[in-house]
Amino acid sequence: QARNLYAYMYAHPGKKLNFIGNEIASFREFDEKKEIDWFLLEYPKHRAFAKFFSDLNHIYLKYPALYQYDYTCGKGFQWINADNAKQSVFSFVREDDSQYIVCIMNCKPESYPQYDVKVPQNGVYKEILNTEDALYGGCNMCNKKPLHSIADGKQGVFSSHITIQLAPWATIYFEYNQHWIKVFQRVENVGNSVNIISDRKKQEYVYNDLLTQKIYIDEAKTEKGKKEYSSYIVKNNMYYQISGV
């Protein structure tokens, strides 16, 4: 429940207050005459909670939608469902000028293998935080794969939904991505090519958190002026090429 409430605080508008020692789930009140109980990190549950708190802080810094319009009336926050008193599941959207973060909070010890959540735009939604992830000592009822929204046949905002797995006492953040990327996979020996000049305009290496390695990305413009991205990945002696517009 502590993970649930902290994730809610970080997603809700307003600045965050964390009393010293809370990040390791300390049992006792802080005493300025004593050191923090760092020995608690020898226990798996406290290490898991510290991992959760670290990841929560990194997510907050990474996504400006969680803080950019904290104090701008009518901007940056919108309820999706504030009235589900029967199930005690609440949801809202945080946003900035280019991004949506959908937040769902389950306030009961009940799980929902299939729970529908309205979303602000049609597209792909990727889980970026789940307080019940096994990494944090949770039950690991997560949404590991990106979810594609389903149109409800209506017009306007919240005219689509995603179907999620929702664990007891879980708070989940989803990142919205409008674009679909088709992935083609083949297996071949890894080798080197020489004397090849790419027609791409921009090339760079970026670190991918999921693969835990740097991947090569290049960029070009199509005839209609859209940007095309391609990535070439070598992982476990397998070669992958990914492209999208």
User: pTM of the predicted model, to two decimals?
Assistant: 0.72
| Cα gap 107→68, rounded to integer Å | 26
Sheet holding 160-166, edge to edge: 112-119, 160-166, 150-151
* % pLDDT > 70, the chain: 83
Residue 73 main-chain phi, psi, to 5 deg: -60, 130
**pLDDT attached to residue 183:** 46
In tens digits, what is the pLDDT along the chain, a chain of 245 residues?
A: 899 999 999 999 999 988 888 999 998 888 888 898 999 999 999 999 999 999 999 999 999 999 999 999 889 999 999 999 999 999 999 999 889 999 999 999 999 999 999 999 888 999 999 999 999 999 999 999 999 999 887 766 788 999 999 999 999 999 997 654 444 444 445 444 444 444 545 667 777 666 667 777 777 777 667 777 777 777 766 667 777 76
Task: Give the CA distances from residue 166 to residues 30, 125, 136, 154, in Å, rounded to whole numbers and listed in that order.
Answer: 34, 15, 16, 25
Please report, rounded to a whole number, the percentage of residues in the chain having pLDDT higher than 90: 58
Query: Using CA atoms, how far apart are residues 152 and 224, in angstroms rounded to an integer?
Result: 31
Rounded CA gap, 51 and 136, in Å?
7
Helix, strand, coil shares of the chain as percentages rounded to 5?
20, 35, 45
**pLDDT tens sequence across 63-101:** 999 999 999 988 999 999 999 999 999 999 999 988 999
Closest alpha carbon to 235 in 217, 211, 216: 211
What backbone phi and psi angles, to 5 degrees, belong to 60?
-60, -40
Q: Which residues contact 20 (CB under 8 A, 6 or more apart)?
A: 30, 36
